[in-house]
Amino acid sequence: MEAQGSTFIGFDDSFEESKAVLFGVPFDGTTSFKPGTRFAPSAMREDSWGLESYSPYQDKDLEDLKLFDYGNLEVPFGDKKKALRMIQEMTQEIIDAGKIPVMIGGEHLVSLGPVKALSKKYEDLHIIHFDAHTDLRKDYLGESLSHATVLRRIYDQVGDGKINQFCIRSGLKEEFEWAKEHVHLEKFTYTTLEQRVETLINKPVYITVDLDVFDPSVFPGTGTPEPGGIDFHDMLEIISILGRLQNVVGLDVVELSPKYDASGVSTAVACKTLRELVLATIK
Amino acid sequence: MEAQGSTFIGFDDSFEESKAVLFGVPFDGTTSFKPGTRFAPSAMREDSWGLESYSPYQDKDLEDLKLFDYGNLEVPFGDKKKALRMIQEMTQEIIDAGKIPVMIGGEHLVSLGPVKALSKKYEDLHIIHFDAHTDLRKDYLGESLSHATVLRRIYDQVGDGKINQFCIRSGLKEEFEWAKEHVHLEKFTYTTLEQRVETLINKPVYITVDLDVFDPSVFPGTGTPEPGGIDFHDMLEIISILGRLQNVVGLDVVELSPKYDASGVSTAVACKTLRELVLATIK
Amino acid sequence: MEAQGSTFIGFDDSFEESKAVLFGVPFDGTTSFKPGTRFAPSAMREDSWGLESYSPYQDKDLEDLKLFDYGNLEVPFGDKKKALRMIQEMTQEIIDAGKIPVMIGGEHLVSLGPVKALSKKYEDLHIIHFDAHTDLRKDYLGESLSHATVLRRIYDQVGDGKINQFCIRSGLKEEFEWAKEHVHLEKFTYTTLEQRVETLINKPVYITVDLDVFDPSVFPGTGTPEPGGIDFHDMLEIISILGRLQNVVGLDVVELSPKYDASGVSTAVACKTLRELVLATIK
Amino acid sequence: MEAQGSTFIGFDDSFEESKAVLFGVPFDGTTSFKPGTRFAPSAMREDSWGLESYSPYQDKDLEDLKLFDYGNLEVPFGDKKKALRMIQEMTQEIIDAGKIPVMIGGEHLVSLGPVKALSKKYEDLHIIHFDAHTDLRKDYLGESLSHATVLRRIYDQVGDGKINQFCIRSGLKEEFEWAKEHVHLEKFTYTTLEQRVETLINKPVYITVDLDVFDPSVFPGTGTPEPGGIDFHDMLEIISILGRLQNVVGLDVVELSPKYDASGVSTAVACKTLRELVLATIK
Amino acid sequence: MEAQGSTFIGFDDSFEESKAVLFGVPFDGTTSFKPGTRFAPSAMREDSWGLESYSPYQDKDLEDLKLFDYGNLEVPFGDKKKALRMIQEMTQEIIDAGKIPVMIGGEHLVSLGPVKALSKKYEDLHIIHFDAHTDLRKDYLGESLSHATVLRRIYDQVGDGKINQFCIRSGLKEEFEWAKEHVHLEKFTYTTLEQRVETLINKPVYITVDLDVFDPSVFPGTGTPEPGGIDFHDMLEIISILGRLQNVVGLDVVELSPKYDASGVSTAVACKTLRELVLATIK
Amino acid sequence: MEAQGSTFIGFDDSFEESKAVLFGVPFDGTTSFKPGTRFAPSAMREDSWGLESYSPYQDKDLEDLKLFDYGNLEVPFGDKKKALRMIQEMTQEIIDAGKIPVMIGGEHLVSLGPVKALSKKYEDLHIIHFDAHTDLRKDYLGESLSHATVLRRIYDQVGDGKINQFCIRSGLKEEFEWAKEHVHLEKFTYTTLEQRVETLINKPVYITVDLDVFDPSVFPGTGTPEPGGIDFHDMLEIISILGRLQNVVGLDVVELSPKYDASGVSTAVACKTLRELVLATIK
């Protein structure tokens, strides 16, 4: 009787006919400070119904795409390796069926799952990454698998020169130093995005958006607010540039922690970012 | 003994001597998702006392104008027709006395009341409208009177070419299509405002501000946060342009839902917007 | 075992070896509307651990400076004179040891304490002040010592032409009038900051930042939200200009009221502002 | 993939095989003070999954009953007559199929719908009513259909001597006076419940529980907290007595306003009350 | 137009005709931990309109008494001596006119004001005091005037054997020791209340209710929750006993901190306690 | 300068001289629904300073005992086995030094750590357990180590007839069945506690209190509110009975989730329960 909230708005086709498959990963098992990203996928599905499926920015409508919402993975808390394995298998299933995975986290560590599956299929996989934090630590509090190390673990999969980071505004000095040798890291802004996208137009690209790339005035719903980020108009411009990519093979939005923003604004920002990203890159 | 909060700051003259009359309409009866705009008029009166009546932007002071605060209309919940009738009658009373109505909503549907009264007096009534949403639906969930249809109902009153919409960033595709024929609708921005104001300098103009025109980072206190809006500096510029109008015959600010923003910031934004609007347009 | 939160991040040296000494003043005794700044120093210490000590903006690290955190002064509520005396004595102790005082308020009145001590040592003390409000009232609700009069009381110490105010957007008309004769007051913006800093390069300067200088979208954690302020990028630019000063003899950040912003964003903004200020001005 | 939350726990059978049919009515259109009961049905479904379906009190399990959850009625806001008509039709459909209606409100006015349908089928329909308030006003703010008049409207359907009210602790003097002639009203307590139940053992009985019968310490999630109510152990005893009834033909729980109790306790109380009521009276 | 909230319900007579005069004291200047009782008088006035003026417990109605609401005293923050002087003068004015003072705090220190005025008029003034805390310290953090010393200061006014304390469940060991010599102190319960009231039937009695005498489950809206208190039914019984007193010369309810209980329950408890107290003791 | 909050009140002796050693375990890694018990130890330490160290119930003072607060264990999130090992080692260190371990959780799983260490030292270790839930599942969501299985895992350590459960009001039917054979389980109440304590007077006993044994009206600060629990007076009676035990070898209080109760009441209840437990059982 009341289907609102059980799927993300516009994701109402069947798995078989779909071009892209959405799944949620309610996992925040390595979050050391303030947990809560586990609540993001359900919150986003529910509040997406306050949005239109039509984008006046792109003059496109989610209803015109074939999109399926798989629901959430039931990942075990307290076993990050098993959680990552489940995510990787889910991704494998989707790409085996010739579809594009679209993931809602959860904490940023979950991004390692799709990358592991996709980097097997695409030898030349490139990463475009938006974040407040470098996430390039070798390990964090003695653990190699963590939200603070996830891009370093992704680097272990894809290798030198494949990771492109934008808008980074926090990290250890040694992370910034290490980055100079191994990845493309732009601090604070995304002025080099356009040029990077040009070189990747037809390459297989995975896009990962840690939503704390937004300024906390725009997006307070995060466990680690870091002032100095981008605003929503910046994100629209970023997405407009990303829309030129011809081979986006997967994408995710992660790190919404909806309970830290009772007004619902952060969830709305996350939903609209996902709507615009999907409309721009799923072709 | 303690009058603070019983009137909006600076609205301390009598009805008789006043140039403009403020009234609140605590009505949110057609709000389908998250009710709460009924609390706006009282919240704005109370928190207005945290502001100064003097504007350093315009170097003007509300104390130098003759302004009366009538209090709130006691509108019945669950009877939108009766509520609208009461608002229309209130407006009639004010304009019969040669004064300018200034209304605080409530949900956006309440704007239909003043327009009905004013469009009888002014055949050539024009509307200037700021909003995140088109509000141009023919009906919404089977109802013709709704916050989502209010500008369409206002159109029924004033006709083709009289409505000017700015900063719109959400709606159905068919609303945007319909708008092309019947109203002036500028998406996202207000670059055409100056030119529109020029043509309306001496015309009777009603100004309606749905406060969700602000970006939710500036104004989270709304039931339907829609990222991508304007900031407060934009609003100051808008008001500066509106200040050129010589015949503003009424105005309203609507859709503040104060309980969704416990910090009080949204209420402060609403109050300061109203202060600046009144200082700029009541002459 | 668990020291996190007992000091501000990076302030882990001893008093003796330190260059600058931080102390908190949990005092909000003259706050007439919404108290709560008393909770700021502890909240900032605790949440500072969610930040890095390294600044990618300045490529500097708090760990490379010698900094001591003295903890909080135990000021009595309901006795503002005694509180101010304690703050002045604390400052005296720090400057007698040849160190630079760094204070976290508390309400803005606390800034009078350090200025009283410093103006005795430096005859030619200059003030650089960022705020939403003029704070220049002669008295407020009959009291001469108040958050709303503090810059006027500071003026009583330092005299004509020594106070430089930026980004001011609220006050009584008479305050703005008075300011024209006695202080440098720039409304809304900080375009004259660079030129003022040039003339003060080698002069003794005290910097006081009322955090409500930020727009409430950036910093909702205040008892008196006043829309129209600066954003975090503006603050970074301001700090970059302040970094040219060669003789900053003290500084404070005041008026964070952490409980009005449950998301923790305002506290993060306060912490990062303090980190950047210290990195730029403590030499 | 994720069915949790889409039905009330244990209500997982089909309509056809079911003995009782649950439906939600998210309507709070006549609530004059603090709206929000519209959110109750969905909140209860979601949080019911934090409960067990097994009751150690009664040593019974919802899984052993045949129960269907129909979802929510999509009632229009701002049209109470139409809303009541839809509820009545829904009830009719359920009783026509030989099943027992179980309703989650919404505000108390919704109880009029099932009573209208049931009083046609059962000439001798009796009401057992738990509440803080009499709800016996002839009209309220000029309206005859209101949460404050609902038992009076039910009286119009069932007539003298059919309504049994318990634990009532608030009302106008004239309501208590009127009650003496027309209904069985026990103030504050339920000492006469057992005797009333004895006389109604085989009669058709409709049970309506306004959850504000609980003390607000137990159940703060209501728009009108009224100290002096019962606790959960009282409710268990009440339900144990109600369990002797052999012909309960319908029941409802109304007036949970989940957003006023962020801890989730009130929703848990509502869920467990419903679980125990169903286990005791659906046979 | 909208008077709701500007007076406490039922206090709608003029000063001249009134029997009792209510005034609020929004003062929390000595609160060392969590301020906020300053908001109580206004919150109670506003929320009192959710209550009936009729009490089914006593079968009495506030409308049948002559009662005046004076509004709030504008006490200065940060000057407790001046605040107390203003309260004393207010009380003097009321008793000079032959009326009974009814005060809403504010923190408990405010009770000293009425006692000072009344103890001059009534040599034989007795105090009946309900509280979680002894409040008998000689001084607190070096201050002699404090919420934690107020009963000791009252003792200084009225002397040995005049103070009767009930339900006390927290204090220093030395306070309990001191009490044995000088006051009647009953720990945890009020079993001796009836007997004490008998001896005071015709004596002048001042009643002071620190609302934290309630268990925090009933009344969470306090800065210092102390488990183990009484419930609302206990309070009704207490008030029923107090109703036998023939010469209550003043009363207060203090220490509601409404912002710590967003559900509004604590404010409702405070309002209903005051309604019942007034109905029982003002004759 | 400001030590308040860094230790639990009254725990201010050194490790060497102490009789009992407190440590916190901020672990909620297996919490499947609403995490947050990780914040309990720090919240309890901080808010304990709002309590007195003196108990008027027992006429004893924590200051008269020798007590040390070790701080928190830095347990890794996402590795429950390592976390349990660290807790076991901490306990071992404490009992090797001849002292009594007192633990603050964290989720209930942490109780397995002390029991593992203590059951090696005391062959005849008995458990007294207060809880809303049986916690006797063989496994939960496929995991053998979980908050929902912890008493079963403790059973694996201590064997038949050693576990005594009181006030249990929720669980699967099979858990209650299994319990009949293997443990002493009293549903809802603690009427058999006195008799059980008599038989254990000189036996080594470990006490574990899942604070959700309280009714959620008393203790809303939990992720899984379960109506129908005990109140604070019950707990005082329970503690009074436990005070007869002569050989309590360890104890814990677990499952406070402070952020779900913004009023701070739940944290106060937890603190006072711990104070009373320690005063009664540490000899």
Q: What is the pLDDT of residues C77-109, one digit of tens each?
A: 778 898 999 999 999 999 999 999 999 999 999
Q: Contact A2/D71, CB-based, under 8 Å?
A: yes
From the CA of F169, how many Å to the nearest CA of chain D?
A: 7
Nearest to A1 among D1, D2, D70 (CB): D70
Q: Is A38 on the interface with F (CB under 8 A)?
A: yes
Q: Is pLDDT above 60 for C44? A: yes
Q: What is the pLDDT of residues A87-135, one digit of tens each?
A: 999 999 999 999 999 999 999 999 999 999 999 999 999 999 999 999 9
pLDDT of residue D202: 97
pLDDT of residue A1: 32
pLDDT of residue F186: 98
Q: For tokens 């007193």, name the residue.
A: E245
- Mean predicted confidence (pLDDT) in C20-24: 97
Nearest to C6 among F6, F70, F72 (CB): F6
Helix C40-48 with C265-281: angle, nearest 10 deg: 80
From the CA of F82, how many Å to the nearest CA of chain A?
A: 11
- CA–CA distance, C85 with E277 (Å, rounded to integer): 45
- Mean predicted confidence (pLDDT) in D57-84: 91
In this structure, of B71-80, C269-278, F242-251, the range with the lowest mean pLDDT score is B71-80
Q: Which phi and psi angles does D30 have, rounded to 5°? A: -105, 5
- Mean predicted confidence (pLDDT) in D55-78: 92
In this structure, the number of other CB atoms found within 10 A of the CB of residue D156 comes to: 14
Q: What is the pLDDT of residues D72-87, one digit of tens each?
A: 998 877 788 989 999 9
Q: What is the pLDDT of residues C122-159, one digit of tens each?
A: 999 999 999 999 999 999 877 889 899 999 999 999 99
Q: Contact C72/F6, CB-based, under 8 Å?
A: no
Q: Contact A216/C61, CB-based, under 8 Å?
A: no
Look over chain F and give the mean of its residue pLDDT values, rounded to a whole number: 94
Window A:186-215, CB contacts with C under 8 Å: 187-188, 215
Nearest to F78 among A30, A38, A74 (CB): A30
pLDDT of residue D199: 97
Q: Contact A32/F77, CB-based, under 8 Å?
A: yes
In this structure, the number of other CB atoms found within 10 A of the CB of residue D98 comes to: 7
% of chain E residues with pLDDT over 70: 98
The residues, any chain, with a CB within 8 Å of residue F252's CB and separated by 6 or more, are F102, F103, F104, F105, F110, F111, F114, F207, F208, F209
The residues, any chain, with a CB within 8 Å of residue C96's CB and separated by 6 or more, are none
Q: Contact F216/D272, CB-based, under 8 Å?
A: no
Q: Is pLDDT above 70 for F3? A: no
- Mean predicted confidence (pLDDT) in B65-72: 95
pLDDT of residue F209: 98
Residue B235, amino acid: M
In this structure, the number of other CB atoms found within 10 A of the CB of residue D33 comes to: 12
Q: Residue D182, annotated ligand binder? A: no
Q: Is pLDDT above 50 for C67? A: yes
- Mean predicted confidence (pLDDT) in D166-183: 96
Residue C155, amino acid: Y
pLDDT of residue D1: 32
Q: Is pLDDT above 50 for B3? A: no
pLDDT of residue E13: 94
Q: Is pLDDT above 90 for D99? A: yes
pLDDT confidence bin for D2, thresholds 50/70/90: very low
From the CA of D69, how many Å to the nearest CA of chain A?
A: 10
- Mean predicted confidence (pLDDT) in E119-146: 93
- CA–CA distance, E140 with C147 (Å, rounded to integer): 26
3-state secondary structure of F120: helix
Paired strand residues for C143: C140
Residue A19, amino acid: K
- Could you give the count of Cα atoms lying within 13 Å of F184 in the half-sphere of its Cβ? 19
Nearest to D72 among A1, A6, A70 (CB): A1
pTM for the predicted model, two decimal places: 0.88
Q: What is the pLDDT of residues C196-220, one digit of tens each?
A: 999 999 999 999 999 999 999 999 9
Q: Contact C265/A217, CB-based, under 8 Å?
A: yes
Q: Which residues of B are annotated as a binding site for Mn(2+)?
A: 108, 131, 133, 135, 210, 212
Paired strand residues for E130: E166, E209
Q: Is F38 on the interface with A (CB under 8 A)?
A: yes
pLDDT of residue B89: 97
3-state secondary structure of B209: strand
Q: Contact B31/D77, CB-based, under 8 Å?
A: yes
Q: What is the pLDDT of residues E46-83, one digit of tens each?
A: 899 889 999 999 999 999 999 999 999 988 877 889 89
- CA–CA distance, A282 with A267 (Å, rounded to integer): 22
- Could you give the count of Cα atoms lying within 13 Å of B134 in the half-sphere of its Cβ? 27
Q: Residue E59, annotated ligand binder? A: no
Residues of chain E positioned with their CB less than 8 A from the CB of C40: none
pLDDT confidence bin for B4, thresholds 50/70/90: low
Q: Which phi and psi angles does F233 have, rounded to 5°? A: -65, -40
In contact, C107 and C147? CB cutoff 8 Å: yes
- CA–CA distance, F171 with F175 (Å, rounded to integer): 6
Take residue E99 and report the two structure tokens written for it: 């009326």
pLDDT of residue B79: 81
Take residue D29 and report the two structure tokens written for it: 């259109």
pLDDT of residue B32: 75
Q: Is C139 on the interface with E (CB under 8 A)?
A: no
Window F:149-168, CB contacts with D under 8 Å: 168
In contact, C61 and C115? CB cutoff 8 Å: no
CA-nearest residue of chain A to D4?
Answer: A6
Q: What is the pLDDT of residues B21-48, one digit of tens each?
A: 999 999 998 887 788 899 999 999 989 9
Q: CA dist F61 to B222, E57, E63, E172, F267, Å?
A: 51, 42, 50, 9, 20
The residues, any chain, with a CB within 8 Å of residue B174's CB and separated by 6 or more, are none
Q: Is pLDDT above 50 for E3? A: no
pLDDT of residue C79: 80
Pairs across B and D, CB distance < 8 A: 39
Q: For tokens 């090992």, name the residue.
A: F85
Residues of chain B positioned with their CB less than 8 A from the CB of E5: 42
3-state secondary structure of E263: coil
- Mean predicted confidence (pLDDT) in D147-166: 97
- Could you give the count of Cα atoms lying within 13 Å of B246 in the half-sphere of its Cβ? 6
Residues of chain C positioned with their CB less than 8 A from the CB of E35: 28, 35-36, 38
Q: For tokens 């809602």, name the residue.
A: A104
- Mean predicted confidence (pLDDT) in D247-262: 95
% of chain D residues with pLDDT over 70: 98
Nearest to F187 among D56, D61, D231 (CB): D56
- Burial degree of C187 (CB within 10 A; 0-12, 13-18, 19+): middle
In this structure, of E134-148, E178-192, F127-141, the range with the lowest mean pLDDT score is E134-148
- CA–CA distance, E25 with E256 (Å, rounded to integer): 12
pLDDT of residue D3: 44
From the CA of E208, how many Å to the nearest CA of chain F?
A: 22
In contact, E69 and E271? CB cutoff 8 Å: no
Q: Contact A71/D6, CB-based, under 8 Å?
A: no
Per-residue pLDDT of chain A (283 residues; tens, 9 = 90+): 334 567 999 999 999 999 999 999 999 988 877 888 999 999 999 899 889 999 999 999 999 999 999 999 988 777 889 899 999 999 999 999 999 999 999 999 999 999 999 999 999 999 999 999 999 999 987 788 999 999 999 999 999 999 999 999 999 999 999 999 999 999 999 999 999 999 999 999 999 999 999 999 999 999 889 999 999 999 999 999 999 999 999 999 999 999 889 889 999 999 999 999 999 999 8
pLDDT confidence bin for C4, thresholds 50/70/90: low
Q: Is pLDDT above 60 for F116? A: yes
Neighbours of chain D (3+ CB pairs under 8 A): A, B, E, F
Q: Is B17 on the interface with E (CB under 8 A)?
A: no
Q: Contact F70/C6, CB-based, under 8 Å?
A: no
Alpha carbon D7 to its chain centroid, in Å, reads 18
- Could you give the count of Cα atoms lying within 13 Å of F128 in the half-sphere of its Cβ? 29
Domains detected in chain B: 20-281 (3.40.800.10)
pLDDT confidence bin for D30, thresholds 50/70/90: confident
Look over chain E and give the mean of its residue pLDDT values, rounded to a whole number: 94
Window E:39-98, CB contacts with B under 8 Å: 70-72, 74
Q: Contact A226/C51, CB-based, under 8 Å?
A: yes
Take residue B190 and report the two structure tokens written for it: 């207000």
- CA–CA distance, F213 with F230 (Å, rounded to integer): 6
Q: Residue A135, annotated ligand binder? A: yes
pLDDT of residue D135: 96
- Mean predicted confidence (pLDDT) in B136-144: 88
Q: Which phi and psi angles does B197 have, rounded to 5°? A: -60, -40
Q: Residue C69, annotated ligand binder? A: no
Query: Which residue in C33, C72, C77, C109 has the most chain E C-beta atoms within 10 A of its own C-beta, making it the best mutation to test that interface?
Result: C77
Q: Contact B171/A56, CB-based, under 8 Å?
A: yes
CA-nearest residue of chain D to A26?
Answer: D2
Residues of chain A positioned with their CB less than 8 A from the CB of B233: none
In contact, D129 and D163? CB cutoff 8 Å: yes
